[in-house]
A and B are shown apart, each in its own frame.
Chain A
Amino acid sequence: MSQSQTQSIFSSYEKDPKFYDEIFDEDGNVKKVYQTLFDLYSGHSSQDYARLNDKAKASFFNQGITFQVYSENEAKEKIFPFDLFPRIIDPKEWEVIERGVLQRSKALNHFIWDIYHDKKIIKQGIVPLDLITSSANYLHQMIGVDPPGGIYNHISGTDLIKHSDGKYYVLEDNIRCPSGVSYVICNRTALKRALFGVFNHYNAHTVTDYAQNLLEMMETVKPRGVDEPNCVVITPGVYNSAYYEHSYLAKAMGVELVEGRDLFVENDFVYMQTIKGPERVDVIYRRIDDAFLDPLEFRPDSALGVPGLFSAYKKGNVCLVNAPGTGFADDKAVYTYMPQIIKYYLNEEPILNNVHTYHCSRPDELKYVLENVDKLVIKPVDEAGGYGISIGNRLTKEEIEKVKKTIQASPRKYIAQPIMSLSVHATYIEESESFESRHVDLRTFCLLGANKEFVLKGGLTRVALKKGNLIVNSSQGGGSKDTWVLKKKS
């Protein structure tokens, strides 16, 4: 490797001691796990990367892997920017993540079961009653319902960040059919296509076994009396931002992709219309929100769902993946109770850290938040996709006053957290044609079935492409990286 080439590709790379750098250590040396990659990359010119970057982009466009961004009046079709520099996680570090994610997923499942049955955790005074009953995602329809296999959050997507202290923290748990796994798989495909020579130097776990594990998990939660369950994926349709993912997963599992109108309910069993006549459906991976599942039980104007689906579910004749009504448990206000929830149900110490959270619903904490808006991130309790977040140190005086008023108007709706400094990672930047440091997080994917557990060895590393930006959501202009979990050296 020549010094001049290193200069050209990493010349704009700024090292900021405020943030944990995934690639360089405190002395500016490349970390051991990245050394091979770094050496290989340094052997190429910036023109090579510009060309590779175009190739990778074209591959995504050609595969139709796009998503939509929503603003006031319009929706735009975009590709999810893919970054050429992969993230590498060594086996020791990954082992902790895997155990931690699984622990949370199991604790959440116990929690949801308890809330829809005995509510012991509330009776014990650990979680307040109002926290649950005031959540729009707590469904009375689910009280006393026993889902097949006792599983509610079959699929969890826990988002992690690495703070300046070098430790992983959980930002949130997504248990309302989290999306993004198809990007994990496409990123791997694209990276292997563009940089096969590089990939071959590392011994990383595969990510393409996700679909197989998803199907196996679904088969464990089949209804009583069914030997070989018929599984399907239900989508709201081609207008949905994640339609690509729905069709990808159905294809990869070898099951039907259906819309609400393809299914019907008769005598509390669910059937699919086929050219051979009606065929019973046993397990449904549903990518339709709770409110739209069944117009007879939830929103009466939903044309996306299946009339009568909920009574079939309640009678145990079909399994919905994930169960309806899990949304109260991944609420940002409930998140703050996760350490206690884990201890209560599993009698274990939490493996992954929670970010300290202030509840604006508590008067003393509200007072602190109002006095320290500039040092905090203010988040609405029930918005997904990074909408409605205010980062205190980015606000003008007027904006701070505005935020304070909004919080005061409905304190229950907001929580605040210290501004976490997401770790940075080398990322290819088109404008400068070089690698610069950008903030990253990590979405993990965990499956929970009846006697089946699986954490995808990999995940979606999301990158905030705008310099200094901390919000990595694709809807807010984020990109993603292939994420390699290395195998243990035997």
Chain B
Amino acid sequence: MEYTIKYKAKNSYETEVTDALWQFLIAPQDNESQKLRLAEFKNSLNAATEESTNSLNFNIYRVIQRKAFKSIDFEANFIVRKEEVNPFSALDSIYNAEHYELINSLDFRITHEQFLNSTELTGYPGAGLSFEFEENRSVFDNLQQLNNWLFTNFKFKQQVTDIRSTPEDFVARGAGVCQDFTHLFLAIARKNKIPTRYTSGYLHQGNGYKGDSQMHAWAECYIPEKGWLGFDPTNNLIALENHIKVAHGKDYSDCSPIKGVLYTSSSTNSTEYSVEVFAREENAPDVFTQSQSQGFDDRANQQQLDFQMQWQQQQQQQQQQLRKQFSAKF
């Protein structure tokens, strides 16, 4: 399969921003099941753009604007080829006690410690859950059951949670978006000692899957003898050719598509944001075609606003923080 992906963002501020830096984690990863054939990234102010990598070695774009401005548009276009790989094997559903011995071994836990410990966003909910791993069931089947359990018991609904929502909040509300499904999946899988990482990327919107007009999230689990495999609990799917991976991390905070540092007195701003994924003909010429539709997503919008509000508030509190943080260390 081949896809064209268009990512757009527009930031506007009421008063001038004098200095700004953004970091985008939006470029599809090059890996064994996907090839990034073409990438372009531009902005309306022709601000300098650099490529670099984040601490987990995923590619990022950095945009630096040192002249005053009130509004900026970003647009990224990618062409990606996904290999059709069949990850299933006859062994997946056969219980193997050695697999459980392996995941309990010290060497295994050391190798995967990064994705075994809970984080602020992936804490196991205090209230009892109706899901448990079953003994005598294969690791793969248990994870499949978890995927199915999340899909069946939780509703996909926007604007009931926000970027700081925890699995506990998600369980209490019974509804949320792909990030919430993924964070709860991570909490449960890690509690059962399965190395699991938060994965961000794009979902091909062709089949009416949920979470298609924004960046999507799913989980990748390390299964003994098999390696990393993606589970998408929002859609009860195994991540295959419809899932285009950008990055992974411990939780959302390692994968947020846009981070920024702005110097402004502006108290109000607006952000619009959209993602489109189109299937394209295999081996068509590698050029970008004009897209027709333009959808903006409310939740993504909200994330941006939250982020910027937070930033401004925190700038105001800076003085206070300085005093609190640096206590005399004698």
Contacts and interface: CB of A to CB of B under 8 A. Distances in A.
Nearest to B327: A70
A255 interface: no
B118 to A, nearest CB: 11
A242 B259 contact: no
Interface stretch (A13-21, A86-94, A299-307, A447-455): A299-307
Contacts of B314: 301, 303
A141 B326 CA distance: 23
B330 interface: yes
A311 B52 contact: yes
Contact of B328 (A67, A125, A295): A67
B107 interface: yes
Given A67-B330, A70-B327, A308-B62, A300 B259 contact: yes
B330 A292 contact: no
Interface residues of A, number: 52
B323 A70 contact: yes
A297 B48 CA distance: 20
Nearest to A386: B330
A70 to B, nearest CB: 5
Given A129-B110, A267-B50, A307-B21, A242 B327 contact: no
B330 A475 contact: yes
Contacts of A119: 110
A297 B60 CA distance: 12
B327 A385 contact: yes
B311 interface: yes
Contact of B55 (A123, A140, A266): A140
Contact of B330 (A123, A134, A478): A478
B113 A384 contact: no
B322 A133 contact: no
Contacts of A140: 55, 114, 250
A269 to B, nearest CB: 11
A257 to B, nearest CB: 16
Contacts of B137: none
A146 interface: no
A296 interface: yes
Contacts of A174: 329
A303 B114 contact: no
B319 A239 contact: yes
Q: Say what secondary structure dominates the interface of chain A.
A: loop
A267 B48 CA distance: 10
A384 B329 contact: yes
B322 A311 contact: no
Interface string B79-122: 00000000000000000000000000011011001100100000
Contacts of A178: 329
B71 interface: no
A266 B322 contact: no
Contacts of B307: 300
B328 A70 contact: yes
Contacts of A240: 322, 326
A303 B329 contact: no
A89 B325 CA distance: 35
A174 B330 CA distance: 10
Contacts of B46: none
B23 A133 contact: no
Nearest to B254: A140
B311 A384 contact: no
A241 B54 CA distance: 32
B64 interface: yes
B306 to A, nearest CB: 12
A311 B53 contact: yes
B329 to A, nearest CB: 5
Nearest to A75: B323
Contact of A385 (B50, B261, B321, B328): B328
Contacts of B321: 301
A256 interface: no
A100 interface: no
Contact of B315 (A67, A303, A308, A473): A303
Contact of A123 (B48, B106, B318): B106
Contacts of A301: 310-311, 314-315, 321
26 contacts: A75-B323, A123-B110, A129-B109, A129-B113, A239-B322, A239-B323, A239-B326, A266-B50, A267-B50, A267-B52, A295-B261, A296-B21, A296-B23, A297-B55, A300-B259, A300-B307, A301-B315, A303-B315, A307-B23, A310-B55, A311-B53, A311-B55, A387-B327, A473-B330, A474-B328, A475-B327
Given A266-B48, A297-B55, 14 more contacts: A179-B329, A236-B325, A237-B322, A239-B326, A289-B326, A301-B311, A307-B261, A308-B52, A311-B54, A314-B55, A385-B330, A387-B327, A475-B329, A478-B330
